[in-house]
Amino acid sequence: MKKFIITANWKLHGNNVLVCHFINKLKSYFDTNQIFSKIIFAPPVIYINNIKNQIQHNNFFIGAQNVDIHFSGAFTGEISIDMLKDIGVTYIIIGHSERRIFHHENNEYIAKKFQMIKSKNLIPILCVGENLQEKNLKQSELICRNQIDAILQLQEEDIFQNSIIAYEPIWAIGTGQTADIKHVNRIHKFIKCYIADNSNIKLKDIIIQYGGSVNFNNIQNFINSEHINGVLLGTASLSFETFINIIHNIDQYCY
Ligand code: 13P
């Protein structure tokens, strides 16, 4: 089975004390355990340098939660892809529903970021997913398809190579209401088939994570499921014990 990918998105949480706690605990966990899954850790950008400098492990990577749409220039407060690259970032989350909602980022804007990230040889983690109303109207596939279409419309042959998609239904984020496994598998399969049919990437090479209220009690549902290649954790990644228990559990099955 392909390496299971666990991404931790800390969002706007954490401080120096929590970061130091995680660094110390992660280091000793990595020293005493074999890690089979791939871990992508995306804290607020200000903490990345410290974490990157202190934790070196073949299966541990740093992610950023966002990036600016410009490579450089007079854009006060923004951070560029090259700057993230400079501090050791490999993956960049884009299109998270919180950015779509609170920062009004639309599909075309996100597609542009996707293209820019690829052009600098970093790996985008593209979040897609429907809201509750759209789900109730049975539009989950339609919404995801529209979000994927914006990337396909870039008309770059290899655009989905070396990228990750995260299916994060908005109604499941931070609500404790995890999506039903059948629903997740159906949507993941749909997205994979759609991308494979409309670009030159093979279905087996498409990687999709699920995110939305994943925790230690429900993680088992997402392991060894044909179309689920990983999970994107929010709340569950903020407690070291929960985070590490999830990694440990996954590593029992995916190696
Ligand atoms: P929760 O795990 O807190 O639902 O957040 C999921 C998420 O948005 C990760 O990007």
What the block records as the tokens of 168 is 């994060």
What are the Cα distances from residue 64, in Å, to 26, 114, 123, 204, 224? 19, 13, 10, 26, 27
Q: What is the pTM (predicted TM-score) of this model?
A: 0.97
Domain span including residue 172:
69-254
Q: Ligand 1: which atom is nearest the Cα of residue 236?
A: 2
- Is 42 domain-assigned? no
- Regions of the chain where pLDDT drops below 50: none
| Beta-carbon count within 10 A of 33 CB | 12
Per-residue pLDDT at 2: 64
Would you call 96 a catalytic residue per the annotation?
yes
Amino acid identity, position 228: I
* Pairing relationship of beta strands 38-42 and 230-233 according to DSSP bridges: unpaired
11, part of any domain: no
CATH of the domain at 138: 3.20.20.70
Q: Is 75 left (phi over 0), alpha (psi -120 to 50) or beta?
A: beta
Asked if 172 and 179 count as a contact pair (C-beta separation under 8 A), the reply is: yes
CA–CA separation, 55 vs 94, rounded Å? Answer: 24
Q: Give pLDDT, residue 3.
A: 85
- Looking from the CA of residue 173, the nearest atom of ligand 1 is 4
SS3 207: strand
The yes-or-no answer on residue 168 being catalytic is yes
Task: Report which residue type is found at 92.
Answer: I
Give yes or no for a contact between 191 and 127, defined as CB atoms under 8 angstroms apart: no
Residue 6 lies in a domain: no
Is residue 21 assigned to a domain?
no
In a domain, 82, yes or no: yes
Mutate to test the pocket of ligand 1, among 65, 99, 168, 218 (most ligand atoms within 8 A of CB): 168
* 211 Cα–ligand 1 center, Å: 6
Q: What is the atom index within ligand 1 of the atom nearest the CA of 212?
A: 4
Strand 5-9 with 230-233, pairing? parallel
Q: How far apart are CA 106 and CA 124, in angstroms?
A: 16
* pLDDT value of position 1: 54
How far is the centre of ligand 1, averaged over its atoms, from the C-alpha of 155 (Å)?
31
Domain for residue 154, yes or no? yes
pLDDT at 255: 63
Number of domains making up the chain? 1
Whether 89 is in a domain gets the answer: yes
Distance from Cα 157 to the centre of ligand 1, integer Å: 31
- Dist. CA 101–CA 182, nearest whole Å: 27
* Nearest ligand 1 atom, CA 127: 10
Pocket of ligand 1 (CB under 6 A): 9, 96, 168, 173-174, 211-214, 232-236
Residue 181 lies in a domain: yes
Q: Which of 96, 98, 105, 130 is catalytic?
A: 96
CA 105 – ligand 1 centroid, Å: 18
H-assigned helices in 64-215:
81-86, 97-102, 107-119, 132-136, 140-152, 181-198
Under a CB-based contact definition with an 8 Å cutoff, are residues 249 and 223 in contact? Answer: yes
Q: How high is the pLDDT of residue 253?
A: 80
